[in-house]
Structure 1
């Protein structure tokens, strides 16, 4: 596509199967208006596809993106009444499409997967339910109270205890599949008519892209909330299409993409923020980790900012190595707010602008940088390494894992479009052309190049839904690479006796009324033989070179413990201190905000390690205990307090103490949101979908600063301190014997020039300062990797329990240093 031409997206093509219902046109019109879709209508007994064989229907079906199986008279168990609808549920995987069943279509779906169809004691025709209960998941995500119009005399029975016994053993059982229909998940229930008991109003298939609703979302008396379920269905359908439909693509191989694009030299600087969710786990279901971002350093140009809370000195280092000083910068966060305000684009970018990061600052702020914001003096043992470091990134690559898009961007100047195009072609040649998977006997026409969008932002978008994953064995090579080095390594975790003694000290402080909760942490060191960089260029793939230990550790930790907020940061030496390598697989978002200043925090407190005998139900039971809930509640109230200080009354808690599942642990998570005055509800980068989210520069002028102010007001992360925060931090300094935490327990992420930002809490992280070396047993000096871990101590804690919890968290990161991937043991001191 020539520069200056903007591509117009093709409307979705949806097939509507009409079962001769009198409301078909209403539903079709609703789909066209709310989804902007091109809807084709055929009857369920269309002779073109029922009388000439199944193959013709499959060929016709392949021209559509999704199907709506409509309502109509009759019984879903009678083939004549459902016609072509019944064929949808048994399609092969290669032919499958997302389907929304409405009324009769919904009943047909349920019947196909084990449900029985029964007559209602009291039929429901043209009536509205006032007892409609859903739990805000799937097609009801973000939907409030539903007033649903019903037209049915039959009901679906999935054998759920609420239907057979009018009760559940525990509240969450209401939303769990029944033994009779293990693939059907309840999404909504109706109790409006006592003789009818609990009537299932909506369901989804757990493994196939099938959803269904009993009520009529298009009815004039169904309220707006009930009608929105159709839009939510289409969003979920699009996620499924992006991840499964297009060429049966597996999840994007992030380690190859991010690594080969950015880390071409173990000495080079780099910032990679990587979503690390498992291939089988859709990012939309978790609500975090939709994007991976590669910050590309420009040789001899990229500027780096460093700051020391001890000396209050700010350093700017140019790509040519020149350093500029700003002495006595008392408020670094106000300085950054003013800086980001100056960096805002004069004109808003033209064309698609859906990437949450256009360019800006990427880096970290240490725990001590957070202490500075609350007036807690730095430790006298504070080392000379920077407390805050950011690089000004002008070239970036953003990967959207939900819709399978890559954004290649530059904010340097219009002249940099050459780099954008060259990078796009490099990605295309690296990940598409060489990696087509096909039988040897088949031949395919040459692949078309992905479309290019010429943006005022100097950005292009490549449609990566057609990318095949590279056929490599990188994951296994990562483990083999470190084996020899780790055999000579030495791990020194905190001794149990000393840690338990610290827990007791914390409890003494709590009993004396000095704190409600103290988040105790300690550092584990792992000593490795020094890295030899001499022979890294001799390897065909520098990513696998022996010298690139930090990147290999990052790949190990992300393979073993994938999490939504993985990060790899490599900064070279600066005037303030040595170079640093950071490898992280954090599950915890600290704070994010969009370009309107709508802000979200996700504090995590409460952890259960996965194991053969630990089920989800078992984890729920543990995490809903008084102790775990108390830990989380105190941090939630602390976070609310901090957000109210910035946003006034515009603070909500949409999710309180919910259990989330990760690769190695279950965790108790809450969500706190704040919005500037006059702005809609909070949104996160994972939710950004429509152009209105990317508001004009003029509109942002009064709201963009809220995010940075909220960030500064909330440091250090409450989940790493306790409450009340300042007093707790002072006590922890004393109990932890003034040992600096450094990067651990701080935050890392980005500040976008468009006004947004996103930061994770630095946990499940290993840090190595280049010039720190330790000699042991007469051997050569070794490089030191530090891993922090800990937990919240309350009056209900036990010293042994807290040590065990600390070690569970430590193990998630320490496993990256395992000599053998099958036997995660490491040499201990």
Structure 2
């Protein structure tokens, strides 16, 4: 009689694809008769023993899961545990009908017990993945690799000679277009180990006489099987441009393998494994007397790895540094070991003029490309006063009511609003400048005019002459009634020093301590790009080429110093008051302000409502027409142009955008009204209201230009996306505090089912809503988009984070908001000791989810496609930079930007929307996605324009959150 458990296993195998993980390795079981017999008849432990490859990798064990995402066991799980993943057959590649491998967000690796003492040069072809290679190689070597750009000044053959090995990075464009340095790195150093990745692989093939041309089809951000030719001589390799193949069944491949003078780059790896591909170009017609093909893709037979017969020169078309590539670290470790072996052989053949250690040390010290700056001695600028409100009525005081009473009518104000709580978001911050006569508290920046860039100004204000990432905090006693000076400063302590641990039980549950609040417009990219090029010592210089936007008076970036802030912590329903102390007299000023707020809270009535704003008869038509900056026909042609850029290898993904514009009368219309409508209809975790109305007549040290009219703008944002945050973490009292950076990119959108009754979904509507979420989860196109941006942001973080600290904690999660499902990933890393939040912004702005990859070349292409029209605040970032070094900035999407028109009688309303264009994009689908992303904001503006009179705050809080609209746009 058959064992019941085996009956169950048989049923599972018949309907599932099974992934066996044993002894830290992955093995995909195809549904063949032999494999079913193995699964059904052998004990699990014996399966693991028989199926495990020769070399072990660090792949985490996991529990059985019915979803594609790997779930982890606690760290006590032993490494010999065998686990079976079950994936429904619906979870397959839409093009190749194969199961999609779960990605757990960590690189599979076999790290050495000790690092290798070699010097490596990494030549960057302006790719957005180069620093992923840097981070992984730095984990393997004593000295991190030196990074130089392909056109770096003062880099010649003599400079290259100093290094033990060279890596040629990926990058956009064709190998035929690369500078001489990239070619000479291969041709002039036949006995020096050289590894080319993607574009570097193509350079390698081209240098030895192969043909390099367009691939059969562009493939970006997709994982595919590759097969080693040395392991399987029955592989057919597409080596001809016309697609014909050479049959490896003959002995040619094995004969070449015997002629190899150096180890294989893929040595000790499984005969087949999955890799991530980003390429539109590939190598054909490889000369048999120079190169041997060591791996090809299993589905389209494109060459994926090559090796020179005599020299230690290697190329891989795929990306070993991608988060989705198996054995990426093993491949790089093999290359480093080849570098070590080559050095030993050279030393044995000739008199060593220097030891490996000294050569490596000399090479590392001879460049100024990577050494980190040392922080100067500084003194703290601010002390922080904080009070937790204990008034019995505070729990009924809503942030919206506080906004209306204290901030809605301020000339400058901000509300960072977690309007989607409890689904996501925990903290609301409300603030305005407290010293209106102090111009130094206001920072305004216009791109292209004289004056220091905004990030340099912020750096000086926060860190320039003050203690980096360090603040003093004082707790005010938790009490009702008046606060006095004598009972205020009960404790002053260094709360954020990285050397000093904090164990105080009253540590607040958030990271904000007061600081600068504001936004960076997309065009700040020119400054960040210039900074990186200057740091990398390149010959290129980024210069603004966008023509002036018609948004009159809108600054490129604007921040003010919040000396007094009100915070609402949603999980505990608690209000906090924060005041900055720069001078002793600030203590009394903050006490007076706090006492005034406490008195208001004590007398706040539970059912208090703010009076509606005055209504007006100046109604607009019920449907407000929005005019796109580029018509549908033009936008679809732009998509076709994107496809051509992708086909040529100029970009992997382009985030194409459009601007929808309308005009609304200013008379008796409050922009706060618009924001309240927007947050009601489309609540989101990183929402914000930002009002900026700085008159041009002000004078002071911060007056950089003579703006002809007031630089007024309002940003009403219902953003679901965090760009970057920096938080102070200390998981255990014995662990020193550190600053953790986090990015949460969104790529992938599906419209949610809106309930017909306006209240709740029926069973049928709920099923359809779930089907849409599942469809997004399985979409090959959206997964590729998301993976590309995840790899890009890993690269950006690796520029400023500690080696080995950057990791992906969540990969391709589906998060559901009021109107859409989104695919969201989370990337984290620990900032290096000498780096600050400003350094992080310089390394990563603008967000890769709004540019595409590779970032620099793609931004240049987008500028042409978008007709050199500035994006303005849209696709920039809004949030805070705290005095303690912490930060939280969103991506400005799902937002309306309002600026006064030149006649000063109407608001010019601009709504940006767009989507990522990849090789898999369809023009009609992309245009509809652009409309979908704008829909909620357009609805709020239409409602605001047609009904300028506003409901009370209580009615707004209880209003229908599921309103929908049709986006009406002129053609």
* TM-score normalised by the chain length of structure 1: 0.55
Given the superposition, is the C-alpha separation of residues 481 and 144 from structure 1 closer, same or farther in structure 2, using an over 3 Å criterion? farther
Q: Do the aligned partners of residues 167 and 368 (structure 1) sit closer, same or farther apart at CA in structure 2, a change above 3 Å counting?
A: closer
1:805 matches 2:929: yes
Q: For residue 145 of structure 1, what is the aligned residue in structure 2?
A: 75
Alignment of 1:565-576 (within 5 A): 565-573=686-694, 574=696, 575-576=706-707
The counterpart of 2:420, out of the listed 260, 267, 277, is: 277
* 1:503 shift after superposition: 1.1
Please state how far the C-alpha of 1:490 moved relative to its aligned partner: 3.8
Measure, in 1, the Cα distance between the counterparts of 2:613 and 2:789: 37
SS at 1:379 equivalent: coil
Q: Pairwise mapping of residues 3-82 of structure 1 onto structure 2 (< 5 A)?
A: none
1:581-622 Cα offsets, whole Å, 9 max, x none, are 111111000000024321001111001111154423431222
Partner of 1:563: 684
Matched, 1:600 2:742: yes
For the residue of structure 2 that corresponds to 1:350, the secondary structure is strand
Corresponding residue for residue 389 of structure 1: 558
Alignment partners' CA distance in 2, 1:369 and 1:482: 41
Aligned counterpart for 1:410 among listed residues 579, 582, 586? 579
Alpha-carbon spacing, 1:307–1:146, altered in 2? closer, same or farther (3 Å): same
Measured in 1, the distance between the counterparts of 2:747 and 2:613 equals 32
Aligned length: 502
Q: What is the CA deviation profile of residues 703-749 of structure 1, one whole-angstrom value per residue up to 9, with x for unaligned ones?
A: 5x332211111111100001000110000011111111011011111
**Structure 1 residues 375-454: aligned runs within 5 Å:** 375=530, 376-383=542-549, 385-412=554-581, 413-428=583-598, 430-431=600-601, 433-436=603-606
CA deviation vs aligned residue, 1:293-342 (integer Å, no higher than 9, x gap): 112222323621122331242xxxxxxxxxxxxxxx3x643443243113
- Structure with the larger helix share: 1
Q: Work out which of the residue numbers 623, 630, 638 in structure 2 matches 1:502.
A: 638
Partner of 1:673: 828
Counterpart of 1:540 in structure 2 is: none
Could you tell me how far 1:516 is from its partner in structure 2?
0.3
Give the structure 2 partner of residue 783 of structure 1: 907
Distance 2:426 2:823 in 1: 20
Instruction: Look up the SS of the partner of 1:818 in the other structure.
Output: helix
Residue number in structure 2 paired with 1:639? 793
SS of the residue aligned with 1:791? Answer: strand
Provide Cα deviations, 1:462-499, integer angstroms capped at 9, x if missing partner: xxxxxxxx45488xx58988992565954224532222
CA distance in 1, matches of 2:644, 2:793: 25
C-alpha distance 651-423 of structure 1, shift in aligned 2 (>3 A): same
- 1:268-307 alignment to 2 at 5 Å? 268-278=411-421, 281-282=422-423, 286=424, 289-298=425-434, 299-301=436-438, 303-307=441-445
Alpha-carbon deviation of 1:812?
Answer: 2.0
Indicate conservation of the 8 Å contact 2:717/2:896, yes or no: yes
C-alpha distance after superposition, 1:656-701 (max 9, x if no partner)? 1110111111100011111035xxxxxxxxxxxxxxxxxxxxxxxx
CA distance in 2, matches of 1:503, 1:810: 18
Q: Equivalent residues in 2 for 1:691-730 (5 A)?
A: 702=833, 705-730=835-860
The residue number in structure 1 matching 2:883 is 753
- Given that 1:643 and 1:710 are in contact with CA atoms closer than 8 Å, whether structure 2 keeps it comes out as yes
- In 2, Cα distance between the equivalents of 1:591 and 1:632? 16
Cross-structure match for 2:721? 588
Deviation per residue, 1:770-817 (Å, 9 max, x gap): 34459xxxxxx6321101000000000000000010001000211211
Q: What are the equivalent positions in structure 2 for 1:226-265 lying under 5 Å apart?
A: 253-265=398-410
* Contact 2:901 2:908 survives alignment (8 Å): no
Alpha-carbon distance in 2 for matches of 1:756, 1:482: 47
**What TM-score does the superposition give when structure 2 sets the normalisation length?**
0.48
Structure 1 residue ranges without an equivalent (≥5):
1-129, 149-165, 173-245, 314-328, 437-469, 533-545, 678-701, 775-780
Residue 147 of structure 1: how far off its partner (Å):
5.7
Residue 618 of structure 1, aligned match among 765, 772, 775: 772
Cα deviation, residue 392, structure 1: 1.5
Against the structure 1 CA distance between its residues 508 and 294, is the aligned structure 2 distance closer, same or farther, given a 3 Å change threshold? same
Give, in whole Å, the separation in 2 of the partners of 1:143 and 1:425: 50
Aligned to 1:234: none
RMSD: 3.6
Structure 1 residues 80-103: Cα deviation after superposition (integer angstroms, max 9, x where no partner): xxxxxxxxxxxxxxxxxxxxxxxx
Q: Distance in 2 between matches of 1:145 and 1:134?
A: 16
Are the aligned partners of 1:598 and 1:707 in contact in 2 as well (CA < 8 Å)?
Answer: no
Distance 1:605 1:399, change over 3 A: same
Answer yes or no: is the 8 Å Cα contact 1:571–1:579 preserved in 2: yes
What is the alpha-carbon distance in structure 1 between the residues aligned to residue 910 and residue 466 of structure 2? 35
The 2-side partners of 1:745 and 1:772 are apart by 24
Q: Secondary structure at the match of 2:723?
A: strand
Structure 2 residue 709 is the aligned partner of structure 1 residue 554:
no
| Deviation digits for residues 415-456 of structure 1 (CA, Å, limit 9, x no counterpart) | 4455545554554555554434xxxxxxxxxxxxxxxxxxxx
The verdict on how the C-alpha distance between 1:608 and 1:740 changes in structure 2, with shifts beyond 3 A counting, is same
Contact 2:623 2:942 in 1 (8 A): no
1:333 to 455, 464, 478: 455
Of structures 1 and 2, the larger Rg is shown by: 2
Equivalent residue for 1:741, pick from 871, 875, 879: 871
How far apart are the structure 2 equivalents of 1:710 and 1:398? 25
Q: Give 1:815's aligned residue.
A: 939
Which has the higher mean CA deviation after the structures are superposed, 295-304 or 818-827?
818-827
Cα distance between partner residues in 1 of 2:618 and 2:941? 9
Q: Is the 8 A contact 1:602 1:669 kept in 2?
A: yes
Question: Are the equivalent residues in 2 in contact too, given 1:408–1:420 (CA < 8 A)?
Answer: no
Matched residue, 1:513:
649
SS in 2 for 1:737: coil
Question: How far does residue 644 in structure 1 lie from its aligned partner after superposition?
Answer: 1.2
**Cα distance, 1:347 vs. partner?**
6.0
Structure 2 gaps, min length 5 = 1-59, 79-84, 92-390, 476-505, 531-541, 697-705, 729-737, 755-764, 948-959
Q: Which secondary structure state, in structure 2, belongs to the residue aligned with residue 435 of structure 1?
A: coil
Using the TM superposition, give the Cα deviation of residue 638 of structure 1 relative to its aligned residue in structure 2, in angstroms.
0.6
